[in-house]
């Protein structure tokens, strides 16, 4: 197996796999989706009752804020639970192996206190200990709208988990892969349309043909050529081949975890899973 990192950004990764089969790459995808441990809000505590007072602008009377909104608390709790909670390498190393042990969970608390009229956003959720590294990366996710006299006070605890238990612990977004394509354009009636649609400079001249062998460039070229699907001459002028042991794999994260850490944890979980399966198989044989 040969692996090459084509692009590694904070929340996006593109990897090239060679000399592997479809099942292996798909297993990496499934591991990213369901087996990477990360933080998510798990225990949500709503304060019920009065939350201070305010002066009504129309009547001038002093009134109390009520801990109420247009949504049930269960819906708000679900929205809070789906927010990405920053998870770094130290947290994963310290608590990643204890996702099923509540006694070994990190002590990470968040608070949320807003008074209407206003819209409550994810950025209003603040880490109790003041650690800036725990601030929600997506600050503009709307949670609930509060009318005048309405307020919300919430304390929430983050817990490590994996997405096989609940999707709120899924940090990888849309992991996907495709077989590496090669596009060959022969001289002919429709070749000019193909070259113009992609850009002649993207091709390499090989004899009388024009070829794109770079799998990423070829994949993008195929997207550009979608508008020629009904052009019979263009279809006859080009040939697309793929390799069954060569794949381009890419994914994003939701901001809870850096892409390189998510990939490392997915491969680690995959390796552990395979070893456990092999040990169980050998003991049963």
Per-residue pLDDT tens over the stretch 212-270: 999 999 999 999 999 998 999 999 999 999 999 999 999 999 999 999 999 999 999 99
Could you report the per-residue pLDDT of 47-68, keeping only the tens digit for each? 988 877 777 766 677 778 888 8
pTM value surpassing 0.75: yes
DSSP per-residue codes, 78-138: HHHHTSPPP--HHHHHHHGGGTT-GGG---EEEEEEEESSEEEEGGG-EETT--GGGS-S-
Is 80 exceeded by the pLDDT of residue 2?
A: yes
Class of domain 2-35+173-251: alpha beta
Domain range summary for the chain, segments of one domain joined by +: 2-35+173-251, 38-169
Cis-peptide, bond into residue 117, ω within 30° of zero: yes
Q: Which residues pair with 246 in a beta bridge?
A: 18
Burial class (CB in 10 A: 0-12, 13-18, 19+), 34: middle
pLDDT at 139: 92
Residues 6+ apart with CB under 8 A from 115: 51, 52, 54, 65, 146, 150, 151
- Superfamily of segment(s) 38-169: DNA-directed RNA polymerase, insert domain (2.170.120.12)
Mean pLDDT rounded to a whole number for the chain: 91
Is 80 exceeded by the pLDDT of residue 87?
A: yes
Is 90 exceeded by the pLDDT of residue 23?
A: yes
Same fold, 2-35+173-251 and 38-169: no
Percent of the chain with pLDDT over 70: 98
């Amino acid at each position: 197996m040969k692996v090459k990192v084509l692009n590694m950004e904070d929340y996006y990764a593109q990897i090239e796999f060679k000399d592997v089969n479809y099942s292996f790459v798909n297993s990496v995808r499934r591991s990213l989706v369901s087996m990477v441990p990360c933080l998510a809000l798990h225990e949500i505590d709503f304060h019920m009752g009065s939350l201070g007072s305010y002066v009504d602008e129309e009547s001038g009377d002093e009134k109390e804020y009520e801990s109420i909104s247009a949504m049930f608390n269960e819906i708000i709790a679900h929205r809070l639970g789906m927010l990405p909670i920053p998870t770094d390498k130290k947290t994963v190393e310290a608590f990643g192996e204890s996702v099923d042990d509540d006694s070994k969970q990190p002590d990470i608390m968040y608070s949320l206190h807003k008074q209407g009229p206003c819209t409550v956003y994810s950025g209003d959720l603040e880490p109790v200990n003041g650690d800036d590294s725990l601030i929600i990366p997506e600050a503009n996710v709307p949670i609930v709208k509060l009318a005048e006299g309405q307020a919300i006070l919430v304390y929430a605890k983050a817990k490590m988990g994996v997405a096989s238990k609940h999707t709120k612990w899924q940090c990888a977004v849309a992991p996907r892969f495709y077989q590496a394509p090669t596009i060959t354009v022969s001289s002919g009636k429709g070749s000019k349309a193909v070259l113009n649609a992609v850009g002649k400079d993207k091709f390499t001249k090989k004899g009388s043909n024009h070829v794109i062998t770079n799998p990423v460039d070829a994949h993008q070229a195929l997207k550009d050529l979608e508008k020629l699907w009904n052009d019979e001459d263009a279809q006859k002028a080009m040939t697309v081949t793929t390799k069954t042991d060569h794949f381009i794999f890419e994914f994003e994260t939701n901001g809870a975890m850096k892409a390189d850490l998510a990939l490392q944890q997915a491969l680690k979980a995959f390796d552990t899973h395979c070893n456990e399966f092999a040990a169980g198989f050998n003991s049963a044989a």
